[in-house]
Amino acid sequence: MKRPIYLDCHATTPVDERVVAAMLPYFTEHFGNPSSINHVYGWETEAAVKKAREVLAEAINATPEEIVFTSGATEANNLAIKGVAEAYFQKGQHIITVSTEHSAVIDPCNYLKSMGFEITFLPVQADGLIDLNLLEEAFRDDTVLVSVMAANNEIGVLQPLAEIGKICRERNVLFHTDAAQALGKITLDVESMNIDLMSMTAHKLYGPKGIGALYVRRRNPRVKVAPQLHGGGHERGMRSGTLYTPQIVGFAKAVEVALQEQTTECERLTHLREILWEKLSQLEGIHLNGHPTQRLPGNLNVSVEGVDGAALLLGLQPVMAVSSGAACSSASTAPSHVLMALGHSEKLAYASIRFGIGRFNTIEEIEQVGEHFVSTVQSLRKQASLV
């Protein structure tokens, strides 16, 4: 049975063979605990972890000591948001974020709200970008953190991180960004962008699942984060737990490969996206969700009028693996909160498809996907007209 064409790279990506090759020795040959400092097995893995920190730090213009390994971006977001809220509790209990954030940011914020914090959820404009004027107006004397994601996981929109960072720095408020979808795909520089905390993950850029990191600024200013996991004092006391060396090595290799190929891959993915959109835009009543150009190169999110969302997804399944929203909330029956924030009706939000074009997709696959999508929509509309 032929498998469908995989176009769900915002949910996860296959592990690159180069990443697998780098990881394998650390499962069986170099299996020591990096914290075992009295013998060669620990020294080997400690050196591998140190090298990985250097790779990740260089990727975002940080220092290795500022990289805290976690189990993924969800844990990193929780550590950043709840950790800062706890550490700066005496300074203030107000946090600013955005209505289109990933649930791994929204849910910790709502948890803090239940504990007495005040959360401002900024709206977005029709193209998915925040209004910087509204951001400036949202600051209060007790604001301790602003959290705005780098690239949206559903519509791929790239928020203006440098401008946001500048505004936060001028007000001495910490700036956190969820860069799970952005790392290795766009340029990230914690210094020029004035970013104080950054969440990252490996499995969105052809690395293994179960490994992520949080960048925590050490100077100008030195950021305090209260640990959310206790027991051993690993990672400068911010995240206890034995370090998982194979995944850490794989994470670093995935970042290394992504950065080496970033320029050419960005151009290639943008070209494939344009081919797909050119085909899909022939349909009447189709909407491109998010800013047309200020978005991830491999992202295309569309809503289609005149079709049932569930029927559309079912009709596409034999040919392509796509999603109607975020994978983390795919079991939810509610419409995408991101698309609703853009001003869509529930019906239109349900009839939406997210394409995540990736490293291993070809022009031939994209053309096949475009043709099948158009024919499926036309068929569903014809059926609807006969009812």
Report DSSP letters for 49-104, one per residue: HHHHHHHHHHHHT--GGGEEEESSHHHHHHHHHHHHHHHTTTT--EEEEETTS-HH
CA 92 to centroid of chain Cα atoms: 28
Contact between 229 and 210 under an 8 Å Cβ cutoff? The reply is no
280: left (phi over 0), alpha (psi -120 to 50) or beta: alpha
State the maximum Cα–Cα separation within the chain, in Å, rounded to a whole number: 76
Whole-number Å distance between alpha carbons of 221 and 319: 51
β-pairing verdict for 212-216 and 299-304: unpaired
Dig out the tokens for 93 from the structure. Answer: 């209990």
Helix (H) or strand (E) holding 363: helix 363-386
Cβ burial 148-169 (10 Å sphere, 16+ → b, else e) = bbbbbbbbbbbbbbeebbbbbb
Side-chain-side CA neighbours of 117 within 13 Å: the count stands at 28
DSSP per-residue string spanning 319-330 = TEE-BSS-GGGT
CB 225 within 8 A of CB 252: no
CB 250 within 8 A of CB 15: yes
For 334, phi then psi, to 5°, come to -80, 150
* Helix, strand, coil tally for the chain in percent (to 5): 40, 15, 45
Closest to 177 (Cα-Cα) out of 150, 207, 141 = 150
Catalytic residue among 109, 168, 266, 328: 328
User: Cα(32)–Cα(55) distance, rounded to whole angstroms?
Assistant: 21
CA end-to-end span of the chain: 33
**Active-site residue flag, 328:** yes
Q: Which residues are catalytic?
A: 328
